[in-house]
């Protein structure tokens, strides 16, 4: 191998990097891979989801600064680098009919313009592999869907000197693979659910499985299973660092780590585009790249 391996993970908000593919990133960091998280928004419109912090006037007034500090802590725990794209959180509209998105938010940006900001990051970092969300955003949050859109445009645009001139966006670079995070998948949920029942333990997944179609969650093609169980503790520590978003006594942590490691020791991805030959299923995001790097 003659060139350093580099992985870029593109996420919508601070905390997404710790709930989607965090153990994978920590594993690759331990192997000497350069990992960069690109966070599209500051999470300014995110609700305080940890009941222990709800009603804290300081946090409510300074949520942007608080979430930035949480991101700094999670970044240190995971051992990754992290950069912001600088767009404004769109919030999650609720109600029937849904209210309009707020003016100036990320989801209302012109896609090619917003993708240009990511092209700059790609050309500067030069990743061989990029991870992001599928066309549904993993779940239908407008910022997640927008993150998908700009990542797919930037994957091709990073090598397009006409659309994104080198004088403004830096020397062209072609990433080789892009993956969709698919950590919240039905086989994993069923495996953890059954592992708990086999041990006469209560499972938090019974209702999830019964309402899978109601949630609008489609079965996806899981092409890549990355073994990373040894890094689940790091993943959980990084997630807990996002204290405004995560209750350490909440459902994220209902399955003991030893059971998780035994029942489902991998994180899953869907290979969306590849410019190198690879055989599916994979166990490595750099499959087809390592030998030719």
Which of 83-87, 97-101, 183-187, 274-278 shows the lowest per-residue confidence on average (mean pLDDT)? 97-101
164 and 245 fall within a common domain: yes
201 and 79 fall within a common domain: no
User: Dihedral of the CA atoms 151, 75, 19, 125 (nearest 10)?
Assistant: 20
For the segment 129-181, what is each residue's pLDDT rounded down to a tens digit? 999 999 998 888 999 999 999 999 999 999 999 999 999 999 999 999 999 99
Q: What's residue 116's pLDDT?
A: 98
Over residues 112-132, the mean pLDDT reads: 98
Q: Are strands 129-132 and 224-227 parallel, antiparallel or unpaired?
A: unpaired
Over residues 274-285, the mean pLDDT reads: 97
228 and 191 fall within a common domain: no
Q: Residue 189 and residue 226: Cα distance in Å, rounded?
A: 16
83 has pLDDT over 80: yes
Q: What's residue 138's pLDDT?
A: 84
Q: What confidence tier does 285 reach under pLDDT thresholds 50, 70, 90? A: very high
Q: What's residue 243's pLDDT?
A: 95
Over residues 185-209, the mean pLDDT reads: 93
Q: What confidence tier does 1 reach under pLDDT thresholds 50, 70, 90? A: very low
Q: What's residue 213's pLDDT?
A: 66
145 and 32 fall within a common domain: yes
94 and 213 fall within a common domain: no
pLDDT above 90 covers a percentage of the chain that reads 79
- Mean of the per-residue pLDDT values for the chain? 93
Over residues 98-127, the mean pLDDT reads: 96
Over residues 42-57, the mean pLDDT reads: 88
Residue ranges at the known binding site for Zn(2+) = 13, 16, 144
For the segment 205-239, what is each residue's pLDDT rounded down to a tens digit? 988 888 776 666 678 899 999 999 999 999 999 99
167 and 36 fall within a common domain: yes
Tokens matching residue 78 = 């995971």
Q: What confidence tier does 36 reach under pLDDT thresholds 50, 70, 90? A: very high
- Classified as helix, coil or strand, 39 is strand
Query: In total, how many domains does the chain have?
Result: 2
Q: Domain range for residue 237?
A: 6-183+222-292
pTM: 0.94
97 and 155 fall within a common domain: yes
166 and 260 fall within a common domain: yes
Determine, yes or no, domain membership for 260. yes
The CATH code of the domain that includes 250 is 3.40.50.10320
85 and 192 fall within a common domain: no
Q: Residue 206 and residue 208: Cα distance in Å, rounded?
A: 5
Over residues 55-60, the mean pLDDT reads: 86
Q: What confidence tier does 266 reach under pLDDT thresholds 50, 70, 90? A: very high
Domain boundary (219, 238, 267) is at: 219
84 and 204 fall within a common domain: no
CB-CB neighbours of 59 under 10 Å: 17
| Sheet with strand 34-41: strands edge to edge | 81-87, 34-41, 6-11, 129-132, 177-181, 266-274, 224-227
69 and 150 fall within a common domain: yes
Residue ranges at the known binding site = 13, 16, 144
Q: Is the previous residue joined to 168 through a cis bond, with omega within 30 degrees of 0? A: no
206 and 113 fall within a common domain: no
Q: Residue 89 and residue 244: Cα distance in Å, rounded?
A: 16
Q: Residue 284 and residue 289: Cα distance in Å, rounded?
A: 10
Determine, yes or no, domain membership for 1. no
Contacts (Cβ under 8 Å, ≥6 apart) of 70 = 14, 15, 241, 242, 243, 244, 245
């Amino acid at each position: 191998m003659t060139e350093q391996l580099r992985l870029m993970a593109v996420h919508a908000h601070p905390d997404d990097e710790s709930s989607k593919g965090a153990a994978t990133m920590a594993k690759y960091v331990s192997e000497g891979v350069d990992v960069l998280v690109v966070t599209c928004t500051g999470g300014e419109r995110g609700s305080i989801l940890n009941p222990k912090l709800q009603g804290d006037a300081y946090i409510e007034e300074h949520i942007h600064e608080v979430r930035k500090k949480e991101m700094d802590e999670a970044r240190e725990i995971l051992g990754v680098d992290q950069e912001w794209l600088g767009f404004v959180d769109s919030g999650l509209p609720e109600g029937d009919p849904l209210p309009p998105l707020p003016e100036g938010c990320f989801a209302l940006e012109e896609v090619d313009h917003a993708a240009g900001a990511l092209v700059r990051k790609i050309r500067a970092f030069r990743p061989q592999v990029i991870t992001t969300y599928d066309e549904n955003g993993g779940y239908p949050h407008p910022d997640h869907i927008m993150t998908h859109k700009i990542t797919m445009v930037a994957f091709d645009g990073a090598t397009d000197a006409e659309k994104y001139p080198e004088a403004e966006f830096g020397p062209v670079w072609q990433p080789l693979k892009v993956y969709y995070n698919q950590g919240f998948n039905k086989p994993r949920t069923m495996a953890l659910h059954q592992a708990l029942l086999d041990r006469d333990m209560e499972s938090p997944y019974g209702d999830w499985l019964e309402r899978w179609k109601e949630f609008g969650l489609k079965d996806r093609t899981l092409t890549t299973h990355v073994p990373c169980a040894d890094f689940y503790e790091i993943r959980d520590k990084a997630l807990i660092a996002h204290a405004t978003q995560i209750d350490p006594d909440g459902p994220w942590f209902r399955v003991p780590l030893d059971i998780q490691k035994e029942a489902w020791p991998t994180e899953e991805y869907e290979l969306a585009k590849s410019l190198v030959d690879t055989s599916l299923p994979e166990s490595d995001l750099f499959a087809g790249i390592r030998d030719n790097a």
